[in-house]
Amino acid sequence: MKKLVPIVIALLLVSFIANASNQINLNSMTQTELEALRNEITQTIEKNHKVSPSEREKIRNSTKNATEEHFAKQGINVSWAWINYEYTKEWYFYTLKTHINYKDKSGNNQKQDVYSEIYETDNDFQPVYIKIGNDVIIDNRALVPDDHRIKLAALTDSTAKLQDTEIPIISTTPAPTVDTSAYRTLKVGSKGEDVLAVRVRMYELGFFSKVPTQTEFTANMKKYVIDFQKANNLKADGVLTPEVQEVLFSDSAKPKPTPLAKLSKPKNLKAAIVFGKISLCWDAVPGATSYNIFRATSKSGQYTHIATVKALNYTDSKLTRGKTYFYKVEAFADNNKSDQTNAVKAAVPTLPPTPVPEPKYPLVNTGKGDAGTSYGYKWFKNNYKNTSTKYTVDGYTIAYYATDVYGDRIKAHGFGDYISYEIVNQTIKPGKTGNAPKITAYGYDHAKRIHAAISKIHFTNGVTIEIPEKDREYWYWEY
């Protein structure tokens, strides 16, 4: 049509001038007036070129009936795919481009382009030329009246020349505007050939997997329409407005995005305890950009997403001592993710008990005991506790001395040593208390106080601890 418009403008200008030559002198018209005249004629032609919905229906039916009759003679049924169909109108003539789907006699799926020229006379639309693929099945152009045949030839003759004229011809053709009146809005419940045309077009774009034959807009079809709208950055509401259909049947319509191959799940997932934390590692997955980590407290429990990492390892430190944790990992890239791995587990050990340091001198005085005088001799006894956590005492030595009222030390019997020793054979287990026997302090008749302390400890393992004088803890009894 772009090549035809300037030709028709020229013809109309000549006709217009011939009918109005007594009234218009082109030589006296200004450039502005000439452009206004061209615009008026151009608008008239553009109006005549528009194909109304009723005309489109008649063109389709005329082409359809003639084509089906041709194939019926061969015993072949055809299904129509009004895909990327193009209508043109030039005075009494229309053209239609579309294609059909059918199975040949061998049962193979075939697809053929269809081109038809329709001649209108007395509101009757007759096919004068139909070509399917490379085969012309109808050619009745010779039946077209002579005065109309020139215009018919103009539809297919791209070499037509403009007649010489003194009127300057517009050198460029304005960009054609989209005529959305060629479509009606389609939605769930709509029926008709145009619904089938939409279905077949979406089949070509990959949104349907089977060749459609249904002429009803169903709820299931709406889902596929939404997929198309999303792929073409349109409002995804499942409604086919005329504007959406213009995109659908255009050469720029985007097909269904090819689904990405699902990522494989990570292999060799391992878990290990490292310094009280659980360390995970796994093999890389081709195409993955990150990895999602999931954790549960039982193998069949609910796995919660705890982290996303780009590395091939992860350390979980938010743990409770003594608990066992289970982990799964999945690979991820954009909206593509793998299946989760099989679960691996790791048990967090409890902390070992804090060791209690052994006391340097584990046998101590409890502060409980008794003292007195018997037959003029002073005596005392006390209780002792073994503060060791490991070792058992099987004997100990008590060192004791006496002081007078002035606090001065007294020698035993007035001439002996200041300190006397008493060995006690007694078993005291770790943490237990032993009652020492009564010890008589002979030779300290005039003593005011008797001071006593542990000086040596012996254990069942054969170890003996001697307590130096400076480290002994003396306690005393006063008489």
Q: What is the CATH number of the domain that holds 140?
A: 3.10.450
Q: How far apart are CA 191 and CA 429, in angstroms?
A: 99
The lowest-confidence range among 111-120, 212-221, 422-431 is 111-120
pLDDT at 293: 97
Residues 443 and 372 in one domain: yes
With beta carbons less than 8 A apart as the criterion, state whether 24 and 158 touch: no
- CATH number of the domain residue 212 falls in: 1.10.101.10
CA angle in degrees (0–180, nearest 5) for 46-48-51: 100
Q: Quick check: 281 pLDDT over 90?
A: yes
Question: Rounded mean pLDDT of 425-441?
Answer: 91
Q: Are residues 437 and 368 in the same domain?
A: yes
pLDDT of residue 152: 46
Domain that holds residue 13: 4-49
Residue at 163 is within a domain? no
The answer on 57 and 44 residing in a single domain is no
- CA distance linking residue 352 with residue 470, whole number of Å: 37
The CATH number linked to 430 is 2.60.40
Asked if 328 and 390 sit in the same domain, the reply is no
> Is 264 within the bounds of a domain?
no
- The answer on 336 and 311 residing in a single domain is yes
Per the CB < 8 A criterion, the answer to whether 411 and 462 are in contact is no
Do residues 459 and 389 share a domain? yes
In a domain, residue 358? The reply is no
User: Domain end: 144, 171, 204, which one?
Assistant: 144
Point out the domain boundary residue: 99, 129, 144. Answer: 144
The answer to which of 69-83, 273-287, 369-383, 453-467 has the lowest mean pLDDT is 69-83
Is 141 within 8 Å of 126 (Cβ atoms)?
Answer: no
Of the pLDDT bands very low, low, confident and very high (cuts 50, 70, 90), residue 86 is low
Residue 253 lies in a domain: no
Across the range 6-22, mean pLDDT stands at: 41
**Which residues fall within 8 angstroms of residue 259, CB to CB, at 6 or more apart?**
none
pLDDT at position 248: 92
Residues 66 and 80 placed together within one structural domain of the fold? yes
pLDDT for 34 equals 60
Residues 474, 374, single domain; the answer is: yes
Cα separation values, 291 from 230, 309, 336, Å: 28, 5, 11
pLDDT value at position 48? 47
Residue 267's pLDDT is what? 95
pLDDT the model gives residue 50: 60
Among the ranges given (124-128, 156-160, 177-181), the one the predictor scored with the smallest mean pLDDT: 156-160
Question: Is the backbone of residue 183 left (phi > 0), alpha (psi -120 to 50) or beta?
Answer: beta
Q: Which pairing describes strands 344-347 and 420-424: parallel, antiparallel, or unpaired?
A: unpaired
**Distance from C-alpha of 245 to C-alpha of 232, rounded to nearest angstrom:** 12
pLDDT at 319: 92
In angstroms, the CA 271 to CA 260 distance is 31
256 belongs to a structural domain: no
In a domain, 159, yes or no: no
Can you tell me the mean pLDDT for 394-410?
Answer: 92
pTM of the model: 0.36
Residue finishing a domain among 278, 313, 347? 347
In a domain, 20, yes or no: yes
pLDDT, position 165: 28
pLDDT exceeding 70 applies to what percent of the chain? 78
* Number of independent structural domains in the chain: 5
Q: Are 398 and 465 members of one domain?
A: yes
Residue 216 pLDDT exceeds 90: yes
Please give the pLDDT value at position 45.
Answer: 45
Q: CB under 8 Å to 113, separation ≥6 — which residues?
A: 97, 98, 99, 132, 133
Residue with tokens 């048990």: 347
Residue 394 has pLDDT above 80, yes or no: yes
Q: Is the pLDDT of residue 94 over 90?
A: no
Q: What is the pLDDT of residue 89?
A: 62
Residue 370 lies in a domain: yes
> For residue 207, what are the CA distances in angstroms to 32, 145, 227, 236, 248?
52, 46, 8, 15, 12
* One domain for residues 381 and 429: yes
Residue 186 DSSP class: B
For the cut 70, the answer to whether the pLDDT of residue 469 exceeds it is yes
For residues 41 and 101, membership in a common domain is answered with no
| pLDDT tens digits for range 307-334 | 999 999 999 999 999 999 999 999 999 8
Q: Give the pLDDT score at 193.
A: 85
Residues 43 and 106 reside in one and the same domain: no
**Parallel, antiparallel or unpaired: strands 277-281 and 270-274:** antiparallel
Written in H, E and C, the secondary structure of 315-376 is EECCCCCCCEEEEEEEEEECCEECCCCCCEEEECCCCCCCCCCCCCCCEEEEEEEEEEEECC
- Please list the residues that pair with 464 across neighbouring strands: 458
Contacts of 96 (CB under 8 A, 6+ apart): 59, 60, 63, 85, 86, 87, 114, 115, 116, 118
Which domain CATH number covers 328?
A: 2.60.40.10
Lowest average pLDDT, out of 160-174, 188-202, 281-295, goes to 160-174
d(CA 262, CA 251): 30
**How large is the average pLDDT for residues 247-259?**
88
DSSP 282: -
Task: Classify the C-alpha dihedral 45-49-55-58 as positive or negative.
Answer: positive
